[in-house]
Structure 1
Amino acid sequence: MGKARRIDHWKNPDAPKPTTRRPSASVLVRDMTGRVLLLRRPDNGLWTIPTGGLKKGETATECGVRECHEETGVEIEITGLVGVFTTPDHVIEYVRKGKTEVRQPVNICLHARPVGGEPTTTDEASEVRWVTPADLDSYDIHPALRRRIDHGLSLGRPHVD
């Protein structure tokens, strides 16, 4: 099957209306020095944290661990909850073979730390890097994903939309 074209919309009144809601998990992985694990999406060129859809029979924790390893080669341990992100301000438009799906994500973002593996590129990551929080502004990160990262870097309570 061909790759879908992905368009992320943020606070766009002209964005298409969602046709589905799909649960996903993302992970804010920080190493011992506080650097954040980022990957560059090959479908839109944006930097992001490891993220993916929950599979049937899988917990959010299992999904986060699996997606991080599949996308970056890094093995992780979940250490806490960043938050639950469900804002209708973010919709994702996928176009594949002339068919369009518009998702409003339901994302559970988790804190994690690396426990093994090595950062490596994959079909889902054209680049993988450890980035200091002070350098995040120099990376092209979608506002919805940056929102998750910023909440995770704050020391406040977990966020819930």
Structure 2
Amino acid sequence: MADAADLTISQMTLVDWLDDLTVRFLLNLPPAELSSVPRLCFQVEEAQWFYEDFIRPANPTLPSLNLRQFCLTLFQHCPLLRNFNAAQHLAAYEEFLAYKVRVPVRGAILMDDSMDKVLLVRGWKKGASWSFPRGKINKDEPDLDCAIREVYEETGFDLNAAGLVERNKIGDGKVKAIDVTMREQHMKLFVFRGVALDTFFEPRTRKEISKIQWYNVKDLPGFKKQKGVAAHGQGEGQSTKFYMVAPFLGHLKKWIAWKSHFFVQRGGPGDDYRR
């Protein structure tokens, strides 16, 4: 016999759920959030994820809505935004997209102890490219805290719990970081050496990461000045599958060479990551 709550959920219409999501994600926002189109739209994006990840699986008869469709639908439904016309709703959505691609990104380059391999993640959508674990920084969030959070969300690996944050601090007491700007978006990736190759990885987020895999650093396109096929990348248009990785490889190569110089002098990697 079906649970009463399940019956209620299955009987709720799209309008019912829009009411629910408006209250859940928008109506109780502080004034500063409500007055900012980008911040408001980030909340709408959270609502869309919730709708697709939890509501639709419970009631598959509800329509699937991409972010644009969902955003415009919720704008028209929300009492706070109902006084704006369709053109203004669309302008707000386009402003959000322009802002979104400029939000700074923080993440991490995870390497094994020998620095021969790096951990890459692949997005959920069909044809998604490989990248280092990373994501957009929250308002007032410290860079390193964001990187640690994103690594945990995308791989399930806790850098703090593993002791790798303290272990990878260099002479100035900070973790090595590589900065790259792509299409007006600033990205900072912190470099962590010492992740065990037999570590179990599992995303903590839903429908964001489809695959997590170790790659040989030297096999990645752009690491060497030669043409070749990346490991495990046969038939995938290898270079385009790693376009989010390639901009960091030149800097990473120099850092590995610098670290390796100390290893040769000291007779092996050892446990001193602070050099």
TM-score (norm 1): 0.66
Q: How many residues align?
A: 130
Q: CA deviation at 1:117?
A: 6.2
Q: Is residue 125 of structure 1 aligned with residue 225 of structure 2?
A: no
| Pairing partner for 1:152 from 248, 252, 257 | 252
Q: Which residue of 1 aligns with 2:104?
A: 23
Task: State the SS of the aligned residue for 2:120.
Answer: strand
Q: Which residue of 2 aligns with 1:135?
A: 219
Runs (5+) with no aligned partner, structure 1: 6-17, 92-103
Runs of 4+ in structure 1 over 3 Å off: 2-5, 113-117, 139-142
For the aligned residue pairs, the C-alpha RMSD in angstroms reads 2.9
- Change over 3 Å in CA distance of 1:107–1:45 after alignment to 2: same
Structure 2 residue identity aligned to 1:19: A
Runs (5+) with no aligned partner, structure 2: 1-47, 50-65, 69-96, 169-174, 222-229, 259-275
Task: State the SS of the aligned residue for 2:250.
Answer: helix
Structure 2 residue identity aligned to 1:133: V
Moved more, 115-124 or 136-145: 115-124
CA distance in 2, matches of 1:62, 1:23: 13
| Pairing partner for 2:144 from 61, 70, 84 | 61
CA distance in 2, matches of 1:109, 1:134: 19
Q: CA deviation at 1:135?
A: 2.8
Task: State the SS of the aligned residue for 1:148.
Answer: helix
Structure 1 residue identity aligned to 2:113: M
Q: CA deviation at 1:46?
A: 0.7
Q: CA deviation at 1:57?
A: 3.1
Post-superposition CA distance 1:79-114 (Å, at most 9, x none): 33332212xxx33xxxxxxxxxxxx31111211243
- In the alignment, is the contact (CA less than 8 A) between 1:82 and 1:148 conserved in 2? no
Q: CA deviation at 1:4?
A: 5.2
CA distance in 2, matches of 1:4, 1:154: 40
CA distance in 1, matches of 2:253, 2:147: 18
Structure having the larger proportion of residues in helix: 2
Specify the structure having the higher radius of gyration (Cα). 2
Q: Is residue 32 of structure 1 aligned with residue 100 of structure 2?
A: no
- In the alignment, is the contact (CA less than 8 A) between 1:75 and 1:117 conserved in 2? no
- In the alignment, is the contact (CA less than 8 A) between 1:28 and 1:149 conserved in 2? no
CA distance in 2, matches of 1:66, 1:24: 12
TM-score (norm 2): 0.41
Matches of residues 70-149 of structure 1 in structure 2 within 5 Å?
70-76=153-159, 77-78=164-165, 79=168, 80-86=175-181, 90-91=182-183, 104-113=184-193, 114=195, 118-121=200-203, 123-137=207-221, 138=230, 139=233, 140=238, 141-149=241-249
Structure 2 residue identity aligned to 1:51: R
CA distance in 2, matches of 1:59, 1:128: 25
Structure 2 residue identity aligned to 1:82: A
Q: Which residue of 1 aligns with 2:134?
A: 51
